[in-house]
Amino acid sequence: MKYDFDKHIIRTNTGSVKWDHSETLFGDKDILPMWVADMDFKAPQPVIDALIEKAEHGIFGYTKGLGSYHDAIIGWMKERHKWEVKSEWICHSPGVVPALNLIVQTFTDPGDKIIIQHPVYYPFTKVIEMNGRTVVSNPLKVENGQYVMDYLDLEEKIDEEVKMMILCSPHNPVGRVWTREELIRVGEICLKHNILMVSDEVHADLVLKGDHTVFAAISDEFAQRSIICTAPSKTFNLAGLQTSNIIIPNPEIREKFSNALEANFMGGMNTFGVAATESAYRYGEEWLDQLLVYVQANFDYLAGYIETHLQDLVVYPLEGTYLAWIDCRELGLDHQALEELIHKEAKVALNQGYIFGEGGEGFIRLNLACTRSTLEEGLQRIERAIGRIRG
Ligand SMILES: Cc1ncc(COP(=O)(O)O)c(C=O)c1O
């Protein structure tokens, strides 16, 4: 089957956060939304078929999923990521962020320190701070035009109070797919200091260059001291179905997390989420492979456009995710002026870099999981707005 990612699907009046709430959030009814990380594409046809079948069955009572649900996850992890998962390792959560929140509450105490690598997906900071824990920032640094981890800074910042690290792998927003060697280095440091590694791998399937390495697949030592957060939501555009799978090889850590899920009445599953996940992992590969070709082509178009028409901007190489990370500092604007330019002048809704924390100021994050014509329109609007402020 050939999927047509050029087809424009109207998303307004569907309750979409991106398309129906941008006016309220960004204050302009003509704004073009290219921000929040979901896609303007239909999910794979087998997923849609599974959902229709479930809808037609017509009974939506409490759901736990059958053994085949876990088999589908196990099959996907094995085929796509060469990771052998055991059925009992899989815990269910309505989302990765709710899981992170619960993980922070369960495995750390108020006042404990948790390491994250800025600029990073901003809910990481939120779940740490809203639970009264302390963020320790180990900012990424740029070497030869590429973001890398700063291991020296990491070791310097570790003390007795650091109990956990939340890793973004692949990294949102900088688009890195961490190599096995990089993961081994950071993992060894965490092991040495008895720091629990929470690896958020929600973007694991969205890899354009290199290979994603599952943190827990590196060694049994790593597996026993880590929690791997996975979901079909980013990969197959299913975020609204609120289904994620938190995979925990270590039995004690898993038991603690499962108990916390029960204690918070989060043990149930979404009937449609279960059906969609199983179908996506069984039959979604063809769609995903075509999607990645489209996202890569969009990235190439963006890079070409910037080179030709937006020479003050610099786009970072995109190894993973469908989110482009663009340096606008050459424009010489502070973050309010940049925000004003993009949202008010250009009328394009993008995520401003400063929300991702240290190192994000002066950057924008642009969602490439849109039709080429949306991308063209967004870039033309930005080009015209820059032209206007330049006079
Ligand atoms: C790194 C990362 N983790 C988690 C999420 C969201 O996960 P969920 O919708 O399952 O809470 C996102 C969404 O963009 C993300 O980029």
Q: How far is the CA of 95 from the centre of ligand 1 (A)?
A: 8
Residue 144 has a CB neighbour count (10 Å cut-off) of 5
Calculate what percentage of the chain has a pLDDT beyond 90: 96
Mean pLDDT over residues 174-196, rounded?
98
User: Which residues does ligand 1 sit against, CB inside 6 Å?
Assistant: 37, 95-97, 121, 168, 172, 200, 202, 231, 233, 239, 244
- Nearest residue (by CA) to ligand 1, atom 13, is 37
Read off the pLDDT band of 227 (50, 70, 90).
Answer: very high
Beta pairing partners, 246: 91, 229
Atom of ligand 1 nearest to the CA of 231: 10
Distance from Cα 231 to the centre of ligand 1, integer Å: 9
Give the model's pLDDT for residue 337. Answer: 96
CA–CA separation, 230 vs 201, rounded Å? 5
Task: For a ligand 1 pocket test, name from 36, 93, 96 the mutation site with the most ligand atoms within 8 angstroms of its C-beta.
Answer: 96
pLDDT, mean of residues 284-305: 98
| 212-241: average pLDDT | 98
Helices (H), the chain: 17-20, 22-26, 45-57, 67-81, 96-107, 123-130, 151-157, 180-192, 220-224, 233-236, 251-263, 271-283, 285-309, 335-339, 372-390
What is the overall mean pLDDT for the chain?
97
What's the average model confidence in pLDDT over 170-184?
98
Contact (CB, 8 A) for 175 and 320: yes
Residues 357, 121: Cα–Cα separation, whole Å = 9
Q: How far is the CA of 390 from the centre of ligand 1 (A)?
A: 37
Once rounded to an integer, what is the mean pLDDT over residues 160-175? 98
| pLDDT recorded at residue 7 | 96
CA of 97 to the centre of ligand 1 (A): 6
pLDDT at residue 265, as a whole number: 94
Query: Span 310-335, mean pLDDT?
Result: 97
Q: How many angstroms is it from 246 CA to the middle of ligand 1? A: 13
Q: Is the dihedral of CA 128, 141, 359, 36 positive or negative?
A: negative
Q: What percent helix, strand, coil does the chain show, rounded to 5? A: 45, 15, 40
What is the token pair recorded at 316?
């970072």
DSSP state of 43: P
Model pLDDT for residues 95-120, shown as the tens digit of each residue: 999 999 999 999 999 999 999 999 99
pLDDT of residue 66: 85
With beta carbons less than 8 A apart as the criterion, state whether 161 and 111 touch: yes
Give pLDDT tens digits for 22-76: 889 998 889 999 999 999 999 999 999 999 999 999 999 999 888 999 999 999 9
Q: Mutation test of ligand 1: which of 126, 178, 202, 244 has the most ligand atoms closer than 8 Å to its C-beta?
A: 202
Q: Residue-wise over 188-216: b if at least 16 C-beta within 10 A, else e?
A: ebbbebebbbbbbbbbbbbbbeeebbbbb
pLDDT band with cut points at 50, 70 and 90 for residue 246:
very high
- Top mutation candidate among 97, 168, 227 for ligand 1, by most atoms within 8 Å of CB: 97
- Asked whether the predicted pLDDT for residue 196 surpasses 90, the reply is yes
Ligand 1 centre to CA of 199 (Å) is: 12
Q: What is the 256 CA–ligand 1 centroid distance (Å)?
A: 23
Average pLDDT over residues 273-297: 98
pLDDT higher than threshold 80 for residue 313: yes
List the single range of 22-31, 159-168, 311-320 with lowest mean pLDDT: 22-31
Per-residue model confidence as pLDDT tens digits over 344-359? 999 999 999 999 999 9
Two structure tokens written together for 362: 């002066």
pLDDT of res. 391: 76
Which of 100, 117, 172 for a ligand 1 pocket mutation test, highest count of atoms within 8 Å of Cβ? 172
Atom of ligand 1 nearest to the CA of 99: 11
Q: How far is the CA of 36 from the centre of ligand 1 (A)?
A: 10
The token duo for 304 is: 């070409």
**What domains are defined for the chain?**
17-44+285-390 (3.90.1150.10), 60-283 (3.40.640.10)
